[in-house]
C-alpha cells in the first residue's frame, strides 16, 4: 500500500504550520523580548513546561510503536488498550511534575538568580499556570498519537494552524500600546491549546471511529500491556532522562550560574534551535509509523531500502538550512531582536549545528526504535549527556554562556555518528560506500550553498526593523532555493523522486476528472 498521498498532504499542511511557526518566532519574540529581564524570567518559567512532555517515562514512545502496528493490523481493541494504559501512566507522572512546579511557584528565586522583588509575582504566576496546565499536555499527546499512527497528522494540524494563528494575532493585544501582559498572554495561549486538543479528539472520533467513552474506560494500569512495552519503554525512559539533561534544563542552569539576562541571550539561540527541532521533527515524523508498518508486515529488506532512500532524499532539506542560518546569523539576529542581543549571534551560529547530521540521526533513531534495540538507545543517549555537561563543567568559567551552544552541538554530533554506525552494521551496508554516495550526490550543491550564503551576507541588513528582517529572510530563502535547484540539477535520484511525485499527482488529477 502506498502512503505517498498521506505524506504529501502531511507536508503541505506542515508547510503552512511552519510558516505560522516562523511568524510566531518573528512576531511574538520581538514583542516579548523587548524587556530583557522579563523575557529571561519567562524563558526560565516556561522551560519547566517541557517536563510535561517527558512525564510518560518513555511509555508514550513505546506505545506509539505498538499503536502503529495495531493500526496496520486493524486491531482497534488493542490500540485502545495501548492508548488507555499510556494515558494512565502519563496522568500519574504529570500530576507529580505539576506538584513540583507548584512548590517552585512559592519561591522562584530557587531557580532564578538575582530576580528582583517586582518580578517575583510574575514568575510565581507563570509557574503556577504552567503547573495547572498538565491536562492540556496529556490531551495533546494522546490525540497526536491517534493521528500520527495513521499518518494522518495533517488532519489534526489543520486545527492546530487555526490555534497558532489566533495565538499570533493575540500578541497585538497583549503587547501593544505600552502593554506588557505576559502572564495574560500565557494563560490565553494555554486556553487556545486546550480547545485545539478537544476539537482534535472529537474529529478523531468522527473520522477513525475512536470511541471517546471506550478510551476513557481503558485509562488504567494493564499488566499485559505493561509486559509488552516495558523493555522499550525503560530504554526510552533512560533516553528521555538524558534528553532532559541535554536539552531542557540548560536555561535553568544558566539562570543559576549567571542571571536572567544571560538566559535571554541564550534563549534567542535556543528559539532558533527549537524551530529547527520542530521543523525536522515534522519532516521525519511520518516515517515513524511507516517504519513500524514494515516491521508489522515483516518486510525487513523493504525497510532497509526505504531508510537509505530517506537519508539520501532529505539531505538537502536538513543540511542547507543549517548552513545558511549559521553563516547569516549575525544580520538575522540584529534585524530580528536588535543590538541588545548582539551576544546571541555567536550562540545562534553555533547551536544550529546540533542538527547538522539530522539527515542521518533522525532515520537512524527511528530504525533503532522500530527494531527495539534498547542498548543502542541507552548508549546513544548517554554519549550526549556526558559530552554536554562534561564540557560545560570545564568551560563555563572560560567561555561563558556560549559554551552551552558549543557543547550542545558537539554532543549531538557524536551521538548521531554512533547511531549511524550501529544502523549501518544492522543493515550490513558499507558505510564508506554510503558516504561516498552521499558526497557524490550532494557535495557540489553543498559548496554552492556555502558560497551563495557568504555572497549574500554582503547584502544583508543589520538594523532592527520588520522590513530589514524581511530582506534578510528573503536573502536566506534565496540561498536555499539556489542550493536546492543546483542539487536537483546534479542529483539524478532526486530528479527521479520529484518526477514520481508529479506523475502520481497527474494520475490522481486525471482519475478525479474521469470520476
Q: Walk along the chain (515 residues) and give the pLDDT tens digit of each residue.
A: 445 555 556 656 666 665 665 565 556 666 666 666 677 777 777 777 767 766 666 677 677 777 777 777 777 787 888 888 888 888 888 888 888 888 888 877 776 666 777 778 878 888 888 888 888 888 888 888 888 777 777 788 788 888 888 877 887 787 777 677 778 888 888 899 899 989 988 988 888 878 788 888 888 887 777 777 766 666 667 777 777 777 777 877 888 788 777 888 888 888 888 888 878 877 787 777 677 777 777 777 788 888 888 888 888 889 999 999 999 999 998 998 888 888 888 888 888 888 888 888 888 887 887 777 767 777 877 888 888 888 888 888 888 888 888 888 888 888 888 877 887 787 777 767 667 777 888 888 999 999 999 999 889 998 888 889 889 989 999 999 999 999 888 877 777 777 766 666 566 555 555 55
Q: Domain check: are 40 and 118 in the same one? A: yes
Distance CA 6, CA 152 (A): 6
Q: What is the count of structural domains for the chain? A: 2
* Integer Rg of the chain from CA: 23
Distance CA 271, CA 29 (A): 9
Q: Domain check: are 198 and 269 in the same one? A: no
Q: Domain check: are 178 and 70 in the same one? A: yes
Q: Domain check: are 433 and 374 in the same one? A: yes
Q: Is 492 exposed, middle or buried (0-12, 13-18, 19+ CB in 10 A)?
A: exposed
Cα of first residue to Cα of last residue in the chain, in angstroms, is 22
**In which domain, by residue range, is 24 found?**
1-248
Q: Domain check: are 186 and 147 in the same one? A: yes
Across 2-37, b (16+ Cβ under 10 Å) vs e yields eeeebbebbeebbeebbebbeebbbbbbbbbbebbb
Distance CA 75, CA 71 (A): 6
Report yes or no: 67 and 149 within 8 Å, Cβ to Cβ. yes
Report yes or no: 420 and 368 within 8 Å, Cβ to Cβ. no
Distance CA 169, CA 224 (A): 47
Q: Domain check: are 257 and 242 in the same one? A: no
**Does the pTM of the predicted model rise above 0.85?**
no
The pLDDT assigned to 34 comes to 65
Report yes or no: 267 and 404 within 8 Å, Cβ to Cβ. no
Question: Given 197, 223, 248, which residue is the final one in a domain?
Answer: 248
Angle between helices 431-457 and 402-427 (to 10 degrees): 150
Q: Domain check: are 201 and 234 in the same one? A: yes
The x, y and z cell numbers of residue 165, run together, are 494563528
The x, y and z cell numbers of residue 287, run together, are 516515517
Distance CA 474, CA 312 (A): 27
Distance CA 432, CA 453 (A): 29
Q: Domain check: are 193 and 142 in the same one? A: yes
pLDDT, tens only, 438-491: 788 888 899 999 999 999 988 999 888 888 988 998 999 999 999 999 988 887
Q: Domain check: are 214 and 309 in the same one? A: no
Q: Report the half-sphere exposure of 147 (CA within 13 A, side-chain side).
A: 27
Residue located via cell numbers 554532543? 411
pLDDT, tens only, 379-390: 877 888 888 888
Q: Select from 272, 46, 39, 50 the least CA-distant residue to 175.
A: 39
Distance CA 373, CA 367 (A): 9
Report yes or no: 86 and 232 within 8 Å, Cβ to Cβ. no
Q: Domain check: are 239 and 284 in the same one? A: no
Question: Given 248, 282, 310, which residue is the final one in a domain?
Answer: 248
Distance CA 76, CA 70 (A): 7
Question: Given 217, 248, 279, which residue is the final one in a domain?
Answer: 248
Distance CA 379, CA 219 (A): 32
The x, y and z cell numbers of residue 225, run together, are 500491556
Distance CA 129, CA 42 (A): 12
Q: Domain check: are 379 and 332 in the same one? A: yes
DSSP output for 369-428 = HHTT-HHHHHHHHHHHHHHHHHHHHHHTTTTTTHHHHHHHHHHHHHHHHHHHHHHHHHHT
Distance CA 102, CA 493 (A): 54
Q: Domain check: are 232 and 327 in the same one? A: no
The pLDDT assigned to 454 comes to 93
Q: Select from 497, 311, 492 the least CA-distant residue to 416.
A: 311
Judged by DSSP in three states, 175 sits in coil
Report yes or no: 486 and 448 within 8 Å, Cβ to Cβ. yes
Q: Is 240 exposed, middle or buried (0-12, 13-18, 19+ CB in 10 A)?
A: buried
Amino acid at each position: 500500500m502506498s502512503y505517498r498521498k498521506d505524506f504529501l498532504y502531511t507536508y503541505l499542511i506542515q508547510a503552512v504550520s511552519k510558516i505560522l511557526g516562523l511568524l510566531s518566532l518573528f512576531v511574538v519574540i520581538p514583542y516579548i523580548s523587548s524587556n530583557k529581564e522579563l523575557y529571561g524570567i519567562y524563558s526560565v518559567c516556561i522551560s519547566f513546561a517541557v517536563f510535561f512532555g517527558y512525564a510518560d517515562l518513555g511509555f508514550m514512545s513505546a506505545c506509539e510503536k505498538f499503536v502503529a502496528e495495531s493500526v496496520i493490523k486493524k486491531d482497534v481493541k488493542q490500540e485502545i488498550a495501548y492508548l488507555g494504559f499510556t494515558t494512565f501512566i502519563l496522568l500519574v507522572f504529570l500530576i507529580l511534575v505539576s506538584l513540583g512546579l507548584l512548590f517552585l511557584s512559592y519561591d522562584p528565586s530557587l531557580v532564578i538568580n538575582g530576580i528582583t522583588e517586582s518580578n517575583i509575582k510574575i514568575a510565581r504566576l507563570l509557574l503556577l499556570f504552567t503547573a495547572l496546565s498538565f491536562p492540556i499536555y496529556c490531551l495533546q499527546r494522546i490525540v497526536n498519537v491517534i493521528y500520527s499512527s495513521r499518518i494522518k497528522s495533517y488532519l489534526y494540524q489543520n486545527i492546530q494552524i487555526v490555534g497558532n494563528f489566533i495565538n499570533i494575532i493575540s500578541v497585538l493585544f497583549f503587547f501593544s500600546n505600552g502593554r506588557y501582559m505576559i502572564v495574560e498572554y500565557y494563560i490565553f495561549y494555554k486556553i487556545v491549546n486546550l480547545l485545539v486538543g478537544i476539537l482534535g479528539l472529537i474529529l478523531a472520533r468522527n473520522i477513525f471511529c475512536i470511541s471517546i467513552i471506550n478510551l476513557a474506560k481503558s485509562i488504567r494500569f494493564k499488566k499485559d500491556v505493561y509486559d509488552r512495552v516495558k523493555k522499550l519503554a525503560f530504554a526510552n525512559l533512560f533516553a528521555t532522562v538524558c534528553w532532559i539533561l541535554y536539552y531542557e534544563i540548560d536555561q535553568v542552569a544558566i539562570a543559576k550560574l549567571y542571571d536572567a539576562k544571560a538566559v535571554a541571550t541564550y534563549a534567542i539561540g535556543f528559539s532558533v534551535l527549537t524551530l529547527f527541532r520542530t521543523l525536522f521533527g515534522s519532516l521525519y515524523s511520518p516515517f515513524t509509523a511507516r517504519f513500524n508498518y514494515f516491521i508489522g508486515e515483516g518486510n525487513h529488506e523493504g525497510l532497509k531500502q526505504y531508510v537509505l532512500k530517506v537519508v539520501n532524499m532529505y539531505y538537502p532539506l536538513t543540511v542547507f538550512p543549517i548552513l545558511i542560518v549559521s553563516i547569516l546569523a549575525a544580520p538575522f539576529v540584529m534585524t530580528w531582536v536588535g543590538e541588545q542581543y548582539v551576544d546571541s549571534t555567536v550562540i545562534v551560529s553555533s547551536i544550529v549545528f546540533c542538527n547538522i547530521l539530522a539527515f542521518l540521526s533522525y532515520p537512524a533513531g527511528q530504525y533503532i526504535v522500530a527494531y527495539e534495540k534498547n542498548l543502542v538507545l541507552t548508549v546513544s543517549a548517554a554519549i550526549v549527556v556526558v559530552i554536554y555537561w562534561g564540557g560545560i563543567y570545564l568551560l563555563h568559567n572560560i567561555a561563558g554562556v556560549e559554551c552551552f551552544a558549543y557543547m550542545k552541538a558537539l554532543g549531538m554530533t557524536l551521538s548521531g555518528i554512533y547511531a549511524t554506525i550501529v544502523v549501518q552494521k544492522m543493515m550490513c551496508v558499507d558505510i564508506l560506500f554510503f558516504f561516498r554516495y552521499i558526497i557524490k550526490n550532494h557535495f557540489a550543491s553543498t559548496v554552492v550553498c556555502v558560497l551563495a550564503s557568504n555572497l549574500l551576507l554582503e547584502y544583508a541588513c543589520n538594523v532592527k526593523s520588520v522590513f530589514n528582517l524581511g530582506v534578510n529572510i528573503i536573502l536566506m530563502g534565496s540561498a536555499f532555493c539556489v542550493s536546492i535547484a543546483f542539487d536537483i540539477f546534479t542529483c539524478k535520484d532526486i530528479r527521479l523522486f520529484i518526477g514520481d511525485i508529479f506523475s502520481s499527482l497527474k494520475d490522481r488529477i486525471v482519475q478525479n476528472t474521469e470520476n
